[in-house]
Amino acid sequence: MTAQTLPTSVLPTRPAVPLKTPVFLTVIAVIVLVCFGLLGSSAAANFRLSTAGDAFVLPTLVFPGKASNLVIGVLLVLAAGYSWYRRKQGLVTQRWIVIVFAALFVLSFLIWVVSGANVTTISLAALLAGAVVLAVPLVFGSLSGVLCERSGVVNIAIEGQLLAGAFTAAIVASMTGNPFVGLVAAGLAGALVSLVLAVFSIKYLVNQIIVGVVLNVLVSGITGFLFTTVMQRDPDLFNSPGRLPIIEIPGLSSIPVIGPILFKQSVVGYLMYLAVFLVWFGLYKTRWGLRVRAVGEHPKAADTLGIKVNVMRFWNVTLGGIVAGIGGSFFTLVAIDSFTKEISGGRGFIALAAVIFGRWNPIGAFMAALLFGFADNLQVTLTIIGTPVPSQFMAMMPYLVTIFAVAGLVGRSRGPAAVGEPYTKE
């Protein structure tokens, strides 16, 4: 009863590798080639690498607008073609190609926009340094997200934690006259928001997303109310926290480009680097981290090994709150020295995107946050030099980057398997 030979109708091969990447790369490549290259300005774009206080001076980078973009455009078209070829072979495009592609696109965009602006020179050093500063709350927020989600609890309330931190830092620092006390208080405020999240989602098994959303609205309402009823009555007493000092490390801080980024930061800035390292080391190198990751991946397995799943989650969420709260203090103790309504401005949600973009890894989240910070700062810089693109469009950029990032253009990111699922024993 073996198979007889039959006329075999073979269907055209149907796609297994998604079209997403090759199509997207092609569209971008064409935009670069046509809009940035052919239609771009032929003026040169100048990128300064050194600032006034530097120990030595690096040369300014000069790119002839049209020519550079034509070259980059051709490279991108080739890369897009390669991506189609890979797909035809039934393979996905390698991750590093997409990353290089993205970097080239950013460069080409910068060249195009700067060469067409009223002022054709920008300071790359200042652009990067500013990006890091703007990324600080995003980094703290995303670390909070990593801590919570690695243990299996979705933390949508990052925005609320940042806002609570910002408000508490302002009011406590104003009343005590000491911004460092405000910094500590910000951490506690973040923890308080987290406690609500932890109690409702872990103890009472309320849907974690819903609790998170409600918390954001709640914190926004409370801080808004207290801002108008308390702070605005007596701003001198309640809303003049003073700033945390910027600490320069002598010598090192005057290295061009990296000096200001690494060695000319506020306490919060240095804490950020420390926090990224500690969370990374903790998660991947310690007993605690192994258990946290186990609880987020397969809580039942962890439970059968005697690990207290919900206790672990509870403390992780609380710790996440402290981290985000400290991040929130950046708004009122570093960026500006007063609180206003909704000062966090949706950055908690961008931080959430950074968690996903960074694949739930503290270093990845840090990088993603830097990227978002860069997009944010680029918008500010470009508005100043007067580009042909309306500033409103520039302001949308961080969010566009976020959408593309979350849509998974840089490969599918796989989160902790048990995230969002409450753990109960039968």
Partner 1 sequence: MKLELRGISKAFGSFYANKGIDLVVEDRQIHCLLGENGAGKSTLMNVLYGLYQPTEGEILVDDKPVEFSGPGDAMAAGIGMVHQHFMLIPVFTVAENVALGAEATKGAGVLDLEVTRRRIREISDRYGFHVDPDALVEDLPVGVQQRVEIIKALVREAKVLILDEPTAVLTPQETDELLEIMRQLKANGTSIVFISHKLREVKAVSDVITVIRRGEVVGSVEPSTDTTELANLMVGRAVQLSLQKAAAVPGEATFQVRDLSVIDESGTTTLDSVSFDIHQGEILAVAGVQGNGQTELTEAILGTQMVTGGSVKLQGKELTGRSVKSVLRSGVGFVPEDRSVHGLIPEFSIEENMILDLYDRPPFAKGLSMKLGEVKRNAAKQIQDFDVRTDNPLNPASSLSGGNQQKVVMARELSRPLKLFIASQPTRGVDVGSIEFLHRRIVAERDAGTPVMIVSTELDEVMELADRIAVLYKGKINGIVPAGTPREVLGLMMAGVSAEEAMEQHHTEGEDQ
Q: Kindly identify the residues of this chain, within the stretch 406-425, that bind partner 1 according to CB under 8 A.
A: 417, 425
Nearer CB in complex with partner 1: 398/416:
416
Task: Based on the shown chain and the rule CB under 8 A, indicate whether residue 14 belongs to the binding site for partner 1.
Answer: yes
Instruction: Return the residue of 56, 236, 250, 305 that touches partner 1, per CB under 8 A.
Output: 305
Task: Based on the shown chain and the rule CB under 8 A, indicate whether residue 236 belongs to the binding site for partner 1.
Answer: no
Task: Based on the shown chain and the rule CB under 8 A, indicate whether residue 20 belongs to the binding site for partner 1.
Answer: no
Nearer CB in complex with partner 1: 8/392:
8
Task: Based on the shown chain and the rule CB under 8 A, indicate whether residue 52 belongs to the binding site for partner 1.
Answer: no
Instruction: Return the residue of 20, 243, 298, 359 that touches partner 1, per CB under 8 A.
Output: 298
Whole-angstrom Cα distance, residue 127 to residue 119? 15
Whole-angstrom Cα distance, residue 315 to residue 148? 9
- Residue 213, Cβ density class (10 Å: 0-12 exposed, 13-18 middle, ≥19 buried): middle
Collapsed DSSP state (helix, strand, coil) of residue 122: strand
Q: How far is the CB of 287 from partner 1 (least distance, A)?
A: 4
Whole-angstrom Cα distance, residue 202 to residue 321? 15
Q: How far is the CB of 297 from partner 1 (least distance, A)?
A: 5
One-letter amino acid identity for 392?
Answer: Q
Task: Based on the shown chain and the rule CB under 8 A, indicate whether residue 290 belongs to the binding site for partner 1.
Answer: yes
Q: List the structure tokens of 23.
A: 């199509």
Q: Kindly identify the residues of this chain, within the stretch 63-92, that bind partner 1 according to CB under 8 A.
A: 90-92
Q: How far is the CB of 307 from partner 1 (least distance, A)?
A: 6
Whole-angstrom Cα distance, residue 166 to residue 186? 7
- Residue 251 to residues 59, 127, 350, Cα–Cα distance (Å): 20, 21, 35
Nearer CB in complex with partner 1: 11/52:
11
Nearer CB in complex with partner 1: 12/250:
12
Question: How many residues of this chain interact with partner 1, rule: CB under 8 A?
Answer: 40
Task: Based on the shown chain and the rule CB under 8 A, indicate whether residue 229 belongs to the binding site for partner 1.
Answer: no
The residue written with tokens 């996905």 in the block is: 92
HEC string of 70-121 equals: HHHHHHHHHHHHHHHHHHHCCCCCCHHHHHHHHHHHHHHHHHHHHHCCCCCE
One-letter amino acid identity for 152?
Answer: G
Q: How far is the CB of 92 from partner 1 (least distance, A)?
A: 7
Q: List the structure tokens of 212.
A: 């998170």
Q: How far is the CB of 360 from partner 1 (least distance, A)?
A: 11
The residues near 123 (Cβ < 8 Å, ≥ 6 apart) are: 47, 48, 51
Task: Based on the shown chain and the rule CB under 8 A, indicate whether residue 57 belongs to the binding site for partner 1.
Answer: no
DSSP-assigned letter for residue 198 = H
Task: Based on the shown chain and the rule CB under 8 A, indicate whether residue 17 belongs to the binding site for partner 1.
Answer: yes
Nearer CB in complex with partner 1: 203/308:
308
Q: How far is the CB of 210 from partner 1 (least distance, A)?
A: 21
Q: How far is the CB of 94 from partner 1 (least distance, A)?
A: 12
Q: Kindly identify the residues of this chain, within the stretch 306-335, that bind partner 1 according to CB under 8 A.
A: 306-308
Taking Cα atoms as reference points, which of 212, 154, 205 lies closest to residue 424? Answer: 205
DSSP string, 140-168: HHHHHHHHHHHTT----THHHHHHHHHHH
Q: Which residues bind partner 1 (CB under 8 A)?
A: 1-4, 6, 8-11, 13-17, 90-92, 285-291, 293-294, 297-298, 300-308, 417, 425-426
